[in-house]
């Protein structure tokens, strides 16, 4: 992804509200399925990592797992929020 496209996506992502919270159960098949469904419908989504999901891993490693499981790209990780794009 080139820098101009990434900049555009980050600007667009700042307007998004988190559509899903990742909680203490972490990344399950159900969560991955829901994320795939939302990505197909919206192409870009924002997720919020709750504190309970980050007990063993940090936000970045969870985001990388989600991106590979959903065949999407990470646009931005800001605090506890992750933006995925497909």
pLDDT the model gives residue 3: 87
pLDDT at 52: 87
Beta-sheet strands, E only, within the chain: 20-22, 44-49, 73-78, 81-85
Q: Which residues, other chains included, contact 65 with Cβ-Cβ below 8 Å and sequence gap of 6+?
A: 27
Condensed to tens digits (0 to 9), the pLDDT of residues 28-77 reads 999 999 999 999 999 999 999 999 887 878 889 999 999 999 999 999 99
Q: Is the pTM of this model over 0.75?
A: yes
Domain 3-85, architecture per CATH: 2-Layer Sandwich (3.30)
Yes or no: say if 79 and 67 are a contact pair by the CB < 8 Å rule.
no
Give the per-residue pLDDT at 71. Answer: 96
Q: Where are the domains of the chain?
A: 3-85
Closest CA to 49 of 63, 29, 35, 39: 63
Between strands 44-49 and 73-78, the pairing is: unpaired
């Amino acid at each position: 992804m080139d820098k101009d496209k990434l900049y555009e996506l980050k600007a667009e992502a700042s307007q998004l509200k988190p559509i899903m919270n990742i909680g203490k159960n972490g990344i399950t098949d159900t969560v991955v399925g829901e994320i795939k469904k939302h990505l197909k419908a919206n192409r870009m989504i924002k997720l919020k990592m709750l504190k309970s999901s980050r007990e063993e891993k940090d936000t970045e490693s969870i985001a990388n797992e989600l991106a590979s499981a959903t065949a999407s790209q990470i646009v931005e990780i800001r605090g506890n929020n992750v933006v995925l794009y497909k």
